[in-house]
Structure 1
């Protein structure tokens, strides 16, 4: 097994604690095959992911490459290629000029768009109200446009504290859908209600993705959750404030 580094991924994960990294480990272990369980770092301290970040990065990059590419790349593909692949499979428009963070934003926005399409008008209205209340509770003046309109108008690039909260919503819902449990995030009561409201519709979105013939491969079941979680961790590091 190689020791992986990646300028987009390794420095970020090296700043994270065990609790934040554990979902990535669990997504990898969910796969039918992986090299993580036989890696020295995991075998030594399986419950301390911060001690084997390089092995986690290696696994994500390996799952992100196709079989042919991995035959010739000991460390898999660059993390940027992992994110690009996930974006393209979700039909998110990306360009060579986009940063990894911008592509992650596009992926989160796409998941949120699909979530909103699964909700009734009444559910969207309630979501808008709770999300606005969650922002007011922490003094976030943010956008005054309702969340559903902001996301569904298309072409939006999430930024600032708004990006932080929306990344938490998506990452939490993906964790509940894939792992059967949400993330341990500090959140006010209104945002906790939003997290609960989003979990069901995003779970339905993922079910549709898993059953789609063209993107139902086992690697995508790892890379999509991992990219969503990494996007959340990136925002969490950028905006270290209470949710």
Structure 2
């Protein structure tokens, strides 16, 4: 029964996933179930429920409660946490992942802000491994409401911290890298992992750098092989939910922006 599933008060996360594109939630199922191969700490009936919902592209409230509970069970880097009955709240998972990738959480810092810090750290580490040409290509792939950013990681970092299109693109690229890693180098067809200006960056040297960073951060334990990519994917879902799409050119802008930064058309709110 749904009433019996304790998700540690993560009702905001439940609402976020309820409103999300089913294809984006399906990516979370892949990370949790190891692309349908299953994990020792996941009951077979739970895996079957998640896989069935993914196949139908329809996630009921009950299935989303199961998904969140399973993610919470992986919250932490110990065997004890993997089998803890109620797991840990999502905010604790994000803070733990941020520490794992080398970041620091502020006191009472909002979950959305912590997610953006995770993206910053992952992309910064990938940036350091790129050649100057790759860095230029990487920078040109990002945009803010005012247009394409300059060749500077500082500019990308600032745009990610503001949230919006650049943050969504950063999450899109990082999630794509984790998915490629999980699938042995391939990208799932129709997985909604690359779009717009970010599409070209998911392949070639930039994609290789990001995939290498993704791999480095998922080797520590089974828990991190789940929690790191799930936090990245949820960051993508959150940033995507905060955008409004231009009816003229289909570019995304932060909700509340009056005119499209890509074509100048008025945006419906």
TM-score, normalization by structure 1: 0.81
Aligned to 1:204: 212
Is residue 226 of structure 1 aligned with residue 226 of structure 2?
no
- Given that residues 87 and 103 in structure 1 are in contact (C-alpha distance below 8 angstroms), is that contact kept between their aligned partners in structure 2? yes
- Given that residues 174 and 199 in structure 1 are in contact (C-alpha distance below 8 angstroms), is that contact kept between their aligned partners in structure 2? no
Q: Work out the CA distance in 1 between the residues paired with 2:66 and 2:233.
A: 17
The correspondence for 1:238, drawn from 225, 242, 245, is: 242
Q: Which deviates the most, 219-228 or 36-45?
A: 36-45
Q: Which deviates the most, 230-239 or 201-210?
A: 201-210
SS in 1 for 2:74: helix
Q: Which deviates the most, 118-127 or 201-210?
A: 201-210
- Given that residues 18 and 47 in structure 1 are in contact (C-alpha distance below 8 angstroms), is that contact kept between their aligned partners in structure 2? no
Aligned to 2:72: 61
Aligned to 1:25: 29
Post-superposition offset of 1:228: 0.4
Is residue 195 of structure 1 aligned with residue 202 of structure 2?
yes
Post-superposition offset of 1:11: 1.2
Structure 2: gaps spanning 5 or more residues: 252-269
The correspondence for 1:128, drawn from 123, 139, 143, is: 139
- Given that residues 177 and 199 in structure 1 are in contact (C-alpha distance below 8 angstroms), is that contact kept between their aligned partners in structure 2? no
Is residue 160 of structure 1 aligned with residue 164 of structure 2?
yes
- Given that residues 167 and 228 in structure 1 are in contact (C-alpha distance below 8 angstroms), is that contact kept between their aligned partners in structure 2? yes
Structure 1: gaps spanning 5 or more residues: none
Change in Cα spacing, 1:225 to 1:210, as seen in structure 2 (3 Å) is: closer
Aligned to 2:257: none
Change in Cα spacing, 1:166 to 1:142, as seen in structure 2 (3 Å) is: farther
The structure, 1 or 2, with the larger RCO (C-alpha pairs under 8 Å, 6+ apart) is 1
**Greater share of residues in helix:** 1
- Given that residues 131 and 194 in structure 1 are in contact (C-alpha distance below 8 angstroms), is that contact kept between their aligned partners in structure 2? no
Q: Work out the CA distance in 1 between the residues paired with 2:160 and 2:195.
A: 25
TM-score, normalization by structure 2: 0.74
Post-superposition offset of 1:144: 4.4
Q: Residues 66-145 of structure 1 correspond to what in structure 2 (within 5 A)?
A: 66-69=78-81, 74-131=85-142, 140-142=145-147, 144-145=149-150
Aligned to 1:181: 187
Q: Work out the CA distance in 2 between the residues paired with 1:175 and 1:43.
A: 17
Aligned residues: 230
Q: Work out the CA distance in 1 between the residues paired with 2:98 and 2:66.
A: 24
